């Protein structure tokens, strides 16, 4: 896609700090990192989000995420990491090309991901609704 930032990075039109590349996947440092070593893993084939990807590309991307996560953590001395994939504008997706964040984590880094609902939901009803929609 001619106006996609990540497609331009993949094509080499925009520079990036590559950490991994093969015929289907590119991984590079996020220029607005949450923590040191924050990496984005993107399929070279354009898709708007993880749910829109071809199944084969989804498998390959996740294998690369698993492969390089250990190296990311080791290189920056992280104790843990988060994988994160935003799907849609409401989730915070800003670039509409599938990408997985690998975010190294450190004790006391202050980064938070989860808030809790104030009211306990009807778990039985929600589980049933999800099962029925599959």
Dist CA 89 CA 61 (whole Å): 21
Residue 115 has pLDDT above 70, yes or no: yes
- pLDDT attached to residue 112: 86
Instruction: Give per-residue pLDDT as tens, 72-107.
Output: 999 999 999 999 999 999 999 999 999 999 999 999
The CATH architecture to which 5-133 belongs is 2-Layer Sandwich (3.30)
Task: Map out the domains of the chain as residue ranges.
Answer: 5-133
C-alpha dihedral sign at 91, 95, 100, 102: negative
C-alpha dist (Å) from residue 43 to 55, 59, 64, 82, 98: 12, 10, 10, 19, 7
Identify the residue whose tokens are 């071809």: 54
Average pLDDT, the chain: 94
> What DSSP line would sit under 17-61, residue for residue?
-EEEE-SSEEEEE-SS-SSTT-EEEEESS--SSGGGS-HHHHHHH
Quick one: tokens of 87? 């799907």
**Annotated catalytic sites, by residue?**
99
């Amino acid at each position: 896609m001619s106006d996609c930032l990540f497609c331009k990075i993949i094509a080499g039109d925009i520079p990036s700090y590559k950490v991994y590349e093969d015929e289907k996947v590119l991984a590079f440092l996020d220029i607005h990192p949450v923590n040191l070593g924050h990496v984005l893993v993107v399929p070279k084939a354009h898709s708007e989000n993880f749910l829109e990807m071809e199944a084969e590309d989804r498998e390959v991307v996740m294998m690369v995420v698993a492969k390089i996560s250990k190296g990311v953590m080791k290189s920056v001395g992280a104790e843990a990491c988060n994988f994160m994939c935003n799907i849609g504008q409401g989730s915070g997706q800003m670039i509409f090309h599938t990408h997985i964040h690998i975010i190294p984590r450190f004790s006391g880094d202050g980064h938070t991901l989860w808030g809790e609902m104030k009211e306990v939901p009807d778990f039985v009803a929600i589980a049933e609704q999800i099962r029925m929609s599959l």
